[in-house]
Amino acid sequence: MPKDFISLADYSTEQIRKLVDLAHDVKRNPRAYRDACEGQTLAMIFQKPSLRTRVSFQTGIYQLGGQGIYLGPTDIQLHRGETIADTAQVLARYVDGIMARVFAHSDVVELGVNASVPVINGLSDLLHPCQVLADLQTVSEKFGRLQGLKFAYIGDGNNMAHSILYGCAKVGMNVAVGHPHGYAPDPDVVTRTRELAALHGSAVQITADPMEAAADADIIYTDVWTSMGQEDEAKERLKRFEGFQVNANMMGAANPGAIFMHCLPAHRGEEVSADVIDGPQSVVFDQAENRLHAQKAIMISLMGRRH
């Protein structure tokens, strides 16, 4: 395994499959791993708010026999000008792993370069790989496989879209992104995804027509229209994303057995209608639960002593 968990693009298909398999096992048999990170400490840097990431990491490391330390935006010296490099080197003298939620993706990369201990990306403006690992676990639970399924992401070409593109391409899922004009995924991420998809036999479709993306999909996924840090654009985005709501009509374009996914937090009536997110096709709380198991798998693999 690589030292850090910063992007799924850095992991081989085999390594991603191993993490998903371990996540399944951790979920089935948590007691088998209760001392996997015994006596270890995870520093958790948060420059943005969080419910799922914060609670699942803190609980997860505790369940593995270790402890988490929450370091909020004004708790450490980063906001007073201490460099990322110094922060990383100091933390590595105390702790066994660092999880970081940051604005600039380069910050989490720099933490990884400067810390001798594993660094886990708990969301950056570019990527959200922990979420997608939990999502792959969830899809694999629901369908019993990953390869060959069609995964449609509808909405903003944001950090979720990017990690979904990488994750799907790596495991041989066909992936479609339906985005409004002006909100396409990052072209470098799309280029890299196309290269990866060509290696693993999956199709990549990027379109401004959400119904085309949703057509015959096994998974329909969406995320908020305004991500953390974009609050000033919220009003404009509400207008620009009209027609991109995942509702019963859009779910109707997908395969009959399709599931609905959302990383949460959700805004009912914006990116998703209440009847869909609260309906029988929705698996959003399984996704949220699987953050715990998937991240325990990451910590066991990168920090654990005996697995």
List the x/- string, 260-279, binding to ligand CP by CB under 6 A.
Answer: ---xx---------------
- CA torsion, points 264, 285, 49, 239, in degrees to nearest 10? 10
Q: Which residues are CB-contacts of 186 (< 8 A; sequence separation ≥ 6)? A: 126, 157, 162
Contact 260, 246 (CB under 8 A): yes
What, of ligand NVA, ligand CP, none, does residue 44 touch, CB below 5 to 8 Å by kind?
none
Give whichever of 92 and 156 is closer to ligand CP, judged by the CB atom. 156
Give whichever of 53 and 140 is closer to ligand CP, judged by the CB atom. 53
Contact 296, 114 (CB under 8 A): no
Largest CA distance in the chain: 54
Of 50, 114, 159, 202, the one binding ligand CP by CB under 6 A: 50
Active site residue 101: yes
Q: How far is the CB of 233 from ligand NVA (least distance, A)?
A: 12
* Number of residues binding to ligand CP, judged by CB under 6 A: 8
Catalytic one of 137, 291, 293, 295: 291
Q: Which residues are CB-contacts of 61 (< 8 A; sequence separation ≥ 6)? A: 37, 40, 41, 42, 67, 68, 299
Instruction: Count CB atoms within 10 A of the CB of residue 32.
Output: 11
Active site residue 131: yes
Contact 17, 73 (CB under 8 A): no
List the x/- string, 88-127, binding to ligand CP by CB under 6 A.
Answer: -----------------------------------x----
Verify binding: residue 298, ligand CP, rule CB under 6 A: no
For residues 247 and 243, what is the distance between their CA atoms, to the nearest angstrom?
A: 10
Strands 119-121 and 97-101: parallel
Verify binding: residue 52, ligand CP, rule CB under 6 A: yes
Active site residue 128: yes
Give whichever of 56 and 193 is closer to ligand CP, judged by the CB atom. 56
Interacting residues toward ligand NVA by CB under 6 A? 123, 158-160, 223-224, 227-228, 263
> Residues in the site for ligand CP, rule: CB under 6 A?
50-53, 123, 131, 263-264
